[in-house]
Amino acid sequence: MNRPNARPAPVSALHRLFASVAVERQASLAGELRRFEQGRGARLIEAGTTPATVFFIVDGLVALLGRGGGGEAAETGLVGPGGLVGHAALLGSAAAGSSAMALTGLRGVAIEARALRHALEDDPPLRRELTAYAAERLAETEALCVCGALHSVEQRLASWLTRAAALLGPDRPIELTHQQLADLFGVRRASVTTSLHMMEGEQSVRCRRGRIEIRDLARLEGHSCGCRRAS
């Protein structure tokens, strides 16, 4: 049944970071937004390129990946529902410092970086909200640098799984292989497998091929170093 008088959903209902957008500005911002879906493994942004689009994530997980001098990659941040990808564009950076890769299927809304920067000029509350978010991502990267130097693979893995469960919901399995997790952490696959076996022995997780289920979140948090709790 057609409803010609129905109004589109306000942008504040599309993503939590739009909650501060004034009512009179919502229609113009909504006109710049487009819904998107991407499959697992999709590359949203490549390091060293200027982000042309900013992605606001509604469902799914995205890993931010930095590269070493030899070309090897490791995770520098994790983005889930309520977050965004492309914060370098908000800071006026010419190029992104990290790539962004979908770890799961994704849904969300996207906007051209140029259009978003223009909207921020006219909306100080939104500018403060998104600038604060960008600062959180930078703080997360700094915390993960310290975490990687000081904590064991088991602690780091438990922290990552705890954060992923917080973003996706504890009842949703995390569909990643041991090798994919090892690549994120920049460690050997055997180190991830050993850590997961220890967690299984403590009944905090259950592992299947390419699938990790959280059985006891509190116990899992007990293994965690806690570096991601405030990210």
Output the pLDDT for position 3: 43
Using alpha carbons only, give the angle 45, 159, 83 rounded to the nearest 5 degrees.
35
Task: Name residues of the chain where pLDDT drops below 50.
Answer: 1-6, 230-231
The distance from CA 3 to its chain's CA centroid, rounded to whole angstroms, is 36
pLDDT of residue 99: 95
Backbone dihedral region for residue 226 (phi beyond 0: left; psi -120 to 50: alpha; all else: beta): left
Strand 62-67, strand 205-208: pairing:
unpaired
pTM of the model: 0.90
pLDDT computed for residue 23 by the predictor = 82
pLDDT at 62: 97
pLDDT of residue 1: 38
Q: Read off the pLDDT of residues 174-224 as tens digits, 9 standing for 90 and up.
A: 999 999 999 999 999 999 999 999 999 999 999 998 999 999 999 999 989
Tokens of residue 89, six digits = 């564009």
Q: Cα-atom radius of gyration of the chain, to the nearest Å?
A: 19
Look up residue 27 and give its two tokens.
């229609």
Q: At what angle do helices 189-201 and 153-168 cross, to 10 degrees?
A: 70
CA atoms within a 13 Å half-sphere pointing along the CA-CB vector of 209: 0
- The answer to whether residues 200 and 178 touch, using CB atoms and an 8 Å cutoff, is no
- Burial class of residue 208 in the structure, from the number of CB atoms within 10 Å of its CB (0-12 exposed, 13-18 middle, 19+ buried): exposed
Domains recognised in the chain with CATH numbers: 15-148 (2.60.120.10), 151-223 (1.10.10.10)
Question: What is residue 216's predicted lDDT score, i.e. its pLDDT?
Answer: 95
Three-state SS for the chain is: CCCCCCCCCCHHHCCHHHCCCCHHHHHHHHCCCEEEEECCCCEEECCCCCCCEEEEEEECCEEEEEECCCCCEEEEEEECCCCEECHHHHCCCCCCCCEEEECCCEEEEEEEHHHHHHHHHHCHHHHHHHHHHHHHHHHHHHHHHHHHHHCCHHHHHHHHHHHHHHHHCCCCCECCCHHHHHHHHCCCHHHHHHHHHHHHHCCCEEEECCEEEECCHHHHHHHCCCCCCCC
